Amino acid sequence: MTDTRPGVWLKSAVRNNVALVIVLGLFVILATAYSVIVPLGEAPDEVPHFTYIRYIVQNHALPVGAEEHEGFQPPLYYLIGAASTFWIDTSDFAVRANGDFSFTEDVPPFNLLLHTTEESFPYRG
């Protein structure tokens, strides 16, 4: 017979899945750290993913392959992103390339994009 008291099921599930809980906890910690440390727009393909989602929000349709860099991707991820961020005003978002960025090894590693203090942690809206 299973004990149905509040909290007993949760404790049992945690005890039986300690490794899973540890892995999920580490994932949350590392994902949060990555999100805070990597400047806005500098993660791999972040800007094209953002523009795909913004296209869906603004046009209420999926982009045709040539309209967006990531237009060939399956749309579920982007539809969820659009549904969860449609209320955010992105009209003032502008991607500004850093003129000092270089792929050569002789130059110190600059960010690909220019960043302002508004993008710094703690974030403000």
pLDDT tens-place string over residues 42-66: 777 888 888 889 889 999 998 876 6
For residues 28 and 21, give the distance between their C-alpha atoms in angstroms, rounded to a whole number. 11
Classify residue 78 by burial, with Cβ atoms within 10 Å: 0-12, 13-18, 19+: buried
Q: What is the band of 24 on the pLDDT scale with cuts at 50, 70, 90?
A: very high
Q: Which residues are CB-neighbours of 62 under 8 A, at least 6 positions away?
A: 56, 71, 75, 78
Work out the percent of the chain whose per-residue pLDDT is above 90.
22
Q: Does the structure show a pLDDT above 90 at 41?
A: no
Q: Does the structure show a pLDDT above 90 at 15?
A: no
